[in-house]
Structure 1
Amino acid sequence: MKLTYSVRPVLRADKKKKDGTMPIHFSVRVGQYVTRIPSGKYINEKDWDSKNNCPKKKDKFLQLLATYLNKKASGFETYMLTQESLGKPITLIVAMNYFRDNTKVGLFDFWQQQITLWEFSKEHNTLKSYKSGLNIIKQFNPKMNFGDISYDLIQRFDVFLRKVRGNQDGGCFTKHKVFKAIINQAIIKGYMKENPYRNFKITASKGNREFLSINEVKKVMAYEIDKSNETLNRVKDLFLFSCFTGLRYSDVMNIKLENIKDEPSRIEINVQKTDRPLAIPLTANAKAILHKYNGHAIKPQTASALPKMANQVVNRGLKDLMKLVGIDKSISFHCARHSFASNLIENGVYISHVKDLLGHTNIAQTQIYAKSLSEDLYSSMDKLNDVYHHAI
């Protein structure tokens, strides 16, 4: 299907300058995607014709400005028609290239445009991280542009995160990761030549990978919740389903009936985080949860296999559930994945198999779960002692 596209000048009243003028942007639409690109021109609101999206032609300057904007828009139409005639795919990035070559796009505008481009390809929480990252960069250096980004600047940004904002290792890791990704996009699109992060190592915090033991999972399974408390019952089912499959919250929420296969019983999905295919065998416990929500009604294959719940709601419910069950641990939904991996390893499953079940690309990611607990070390030594004792 042929994509339609359009462009029109718009006044950004939300970006009013101290002198009272407002920037004029080009609102560009290609298919369902829309972004705004700065024209580099400013105007007083009283001189703007909001009905026709153009300057009021009260004097020579405004007439020239109107002619300039109209010429840019007409040039855009010609440019896009040319791209079509050359057989190039018509995308928002192609449209943006026209303006990039003809207007000065700063770092902050580029960052915002990139968020818009990712609107349909990244998770809501990921986009929030990029929006938050943009605000933090503006706090750090309100006048920063592409030419200011250097290894020295990244070092100073790290100090800003730790000393001014009080971020710990985990928070710093996330902010640096976001900034690095934006710089990579700028390099791809010709705004920068190299990424200074090549000399700056970003280290993730180790964190506390809390998980439930097999006996604790059994306690959750055995705990009866009043049927009238539908929300907490669903929280329990979703959490246990992740304990039985190792799937992340995003993947559990996205399972559809068409993803459930037979002979052998399994789930086949594309993992949301990595966009890689993954097949997970279904145990009897996992199948029982799926049957609970799908066994008594006829649904289309595109229907969700499990109830939809916001991550925050699930995590709040898990706090209540752990108290009721009598488990004194800080448990979030992601801990179910840790429980799945740790309990497989504890029961002697080869780590390479655990790696495949988790959808890891690197065995080092899986080895985190193979670290021995101190009590296991003492238990192992006791067993060795018993062996030698009986040998005498």
Structure 2
Amino acid sequence: MNATLKLILRKDFKRKDGSNSIFLRLTINRKSRYYPIGISAQEGDLLKDKFQFKTSIKDSAINNMKLNQTMVKAQQILNDFIRFEKTPTFTEFSLKFKSNYNSKDFYDFALNYINTNKNLSKEAVRTYKSQITKLKKYHIGKISLSEINNLDFIRDYENYMIDELKNKTNTIYKSLAFIRTILNEAIKHSIVQDSVFAKIKLKKVSGNREFLSFTEINSLEKLLHSKKLSPARKEVLKYFLFSCYTGLRYTDIKNLTHGDIFEYPFYNIETKKSINRKMITLEMHKTKRLVNIPLIPQAQALIKNKDKYPYCKVFKVLSNQKTNQNLKEIMKLAEIRKKGGISFHCARHSFATNAIAANMSLPYVSQLLGHSETKTTGIYVKILKDVLFDETDKLANM
């Protein structure tokens, strides 16, 4: 490896006050790149024998400390290339130098990854930060990436979640998967060489995805038009049912505006006539995938769009917690009981399961849900109890 570092005063970068910008110069195989460090100086401000500010210059102590920190950080990055026997590149050096990716503390590194990764959704950011909080309760104080990248540490943390927190398998999976994500990111930036998770297979079990049958959804429709619900609970039931008919997630329902609903000219093959049908076209909050969802009459009946501006929200959506609290009471009134309880996400499950039960093609259901692969949609393939009765009745008629 032929890579060198040097601080230089670039005289071709003159500022308005007459000073010149200080840059870090990285040279790899006789090619150089320059990195600004946010400090400027006039030539007479610096000592002749070493690249430091004279003590008589204002803020010299602070600026000298910054210069030292810059060189230490840059040298650590080059040392990591040597340690992992990797050839240094300008691209990888730039990524590390411009961020805090050379931090060896797990918490610092993880927070930097969370705060600088623009591809993470707000939900993912919130989840990852909660995982850091959880881990800090187990291990108070700083912990290095190498300490956490250890089989004994992972097993001890797993036992803590089982014995002390009474976490279930999938909850433990999420916590360990978060650590795995951070370690994989550290590998990408040559901070650790490999991951302990190459030796560990994380366990995950299929959850009991509760859903509502056609009959149960019809009973909720009847409840909606009865006098048993307060106006607030009627609104909650409206957007819950709308999700049952469209498969939209809570956040997408919350953000849905009248501008997301379009008139689409639909050609009916049987009547040979073109009629306008309504369709939702939006980018899903979680996956950023564009979906087109035709609105069936039941869904359209839940929307009031008279004199509404495009930017107006379709529903007045409560917080997720309050929505689920109201749904609990609504299900009691509808006499719908589920072993795992009913949350708002049950509506999406209901849409998927009922669409498949109605013989809708799996690729089409997958497209409506915004899944990238049909195998993801396959988790909703379930046999409805009504169908089981119909099938077993055949035995009685033999």
Structures share a fold, TM > 0.5?
Answer: yes
Partners of 1:99 and 1:225 in 2: CA distance: 59
Which of structures 1 and 2 has the bigger CA Rg? 2
Give 1:322's aligned residue: 331
Partners of 1:73 and 1:259 in 2: CA distance: 51
Give 1:202 shift. 2.7
Give 1:113's aligned residue: 112
The question of whether the paired residues in 2 share the 8 Å contact of 1:225 and 1:232 is answered with: no
The question of whether the paired residues in 2 share the 8 Å contact of 1:129 and 1:178 is answered with: no
Give 1:383's aligned residue: 394
User: Across the two proteins, how many residue pairs are aligned to each other?
Assistant: 303
Relative to structure 1, the CA distance from residue 371 to residue 74 in structure 2 (aligned partners, 3 Å threshold; closer, same or farther) is: closer
Give 1:73 shift. 9.4
Give 1:132's aligned residue: 130
The question of whether the paired residues in 2 share the 8 Å contact of 1:138 and 1:144 is answered with: no
Give 2:247's aligned residue: 246
The question of whether the paired residues in 2 share the 8 Å contact of 1:251 and 1:271 is answered with: yes
Give 1:296's aligned residue: 306
Partners of 1:238 and 1:198 in 2: CA distance: 44
Give 1:363 shift. 2.7
Give 1:337 shift. 1.0
Give 1:313 shift. 1.3
Q: Equivalent residue of 1:265, what SS?
A: strand
Partners of 1:260 and 1:69 in 2: CA distance: 58
Partners of 2:343 and 2:103 in 1: CA distance: 45
Give 1:373 shift. 5.1
Partners of 1:74 and 1:191 in 2: CA distance: 18
The question of whether the paired residues in 1 share the 8 Å contact of 2:150 and 2:196 is answered with: yes
2:62 to 45, 63, 66: 66
Runs of 4+ aligned residues of structure 1 deviating over 6 Å after TM superposition are: 72-75, 93-96
Partners of 1:218 and 1:177 in 2: CA distance: 40
Give 1:322 shift. 1.0
Q: Equivalent residue of 2:210, what SS?
A: coil
Give 1:351 shift. 2.7
Q: Which letter maps to 2:352? A: A
Relative to structure 1, the CA distance from residue 227 to residue 378 in structure 2 (aligned partners, 3 Å threshold; closer, same or farther) is: closer
Q: Equivalent residue of 1:144, what SS?
A: coil
Q: Which letter maps to 2:380? A: Y
Partners of 1:157 and 1:196 in 2: CA distance: 14
Partners of 1:312 and 1:227 in 2: CA distance: 22
Q: Equivalent residue of 2:301, what SS?
A: helix
1:35-74 matches, within 5 Å, as 66-69=62-65, 71=67
The question of whether the paired residues in 1 share the 8 Å contact of 2:250 and 2:320 is answered with: yes
Give 1:155 shift. 3.2
Give 1:345's aligned residue: 356
Q: Equivalent residue of 2:173, what SS?
A: helix
1:251-270 matches, within 5 Å, as 251-263=252-264, 264-270=277-283
The question of whether the paired residues in 1 share the 8 Å contact of 2:213 and 2:384 is answered with: no
Give 1:136 shift. 2.5
Q: Which letter maps to 2:256? A: I
Give 1:305's aligned residue: 314
Partners of 2:308 and 2:389 in 1: CA distance: 54
Q: Equivalent residue of 1:191, what SS?
A: coil
Q: Structure 1: 5+ residue runs without aligned partners?
A: 1-62, 76-92
The question of whether the paired residues in 2 share the 8 Å contact of 1:315 and 1:332 is answered with: yes
Partners of 1:181 and 1:188 in 2: CA distance: 11
The question of whether the paired residues in 2 share the 8 Å contact of 1:242 and 1:248 is answered with: yes
Give 1:129 shift. 2.0
Relative to structure 1, the CA distance from residue 373 to residue 241 in structure 2 (aligned partners, 3 Å threshold; closer, same or farther) is: closer
The C-alpha deviation readout for 1:151-207, integer Å capped at 9, x for no partner, is 443333322221232211121122122222222333334423333324323333322
- Bigger shift: residues 242-251 or 252-261: 252-261
1:47-196 matches, within 5 Å, as 66-69=62-65, 71=67, 97-98=97-98, 100=100, 104-118=103-117, 122-142=120-140, 143-148=142-147, 149-196=149-196
Aligned Cα RMSD in Å?
A: 3.2
Give 1:94 shift. 6.6
| Higher fraction of helix | 1
The question of whether the paired residues in 1 share the 8 Å contact of 2:356 and 2:381 is answered with: yes
Partners of 2:123 and 2:202 in 1: CA distance: 21
- Bigger shift: residues 125-134 or 149-158: 149-158
The question of whether the paired residues in 1 share the 8 Å contact of 2:238 and 2:302 is answered with: yes
Relative to structure 1, the CA distance from residue 236 to residue 100 in structure 2 (aligned partners, 3 Å threshold; closer, same or farther) is: closer
- Bigger shift: residues 235-244 or 152-161: 152-161
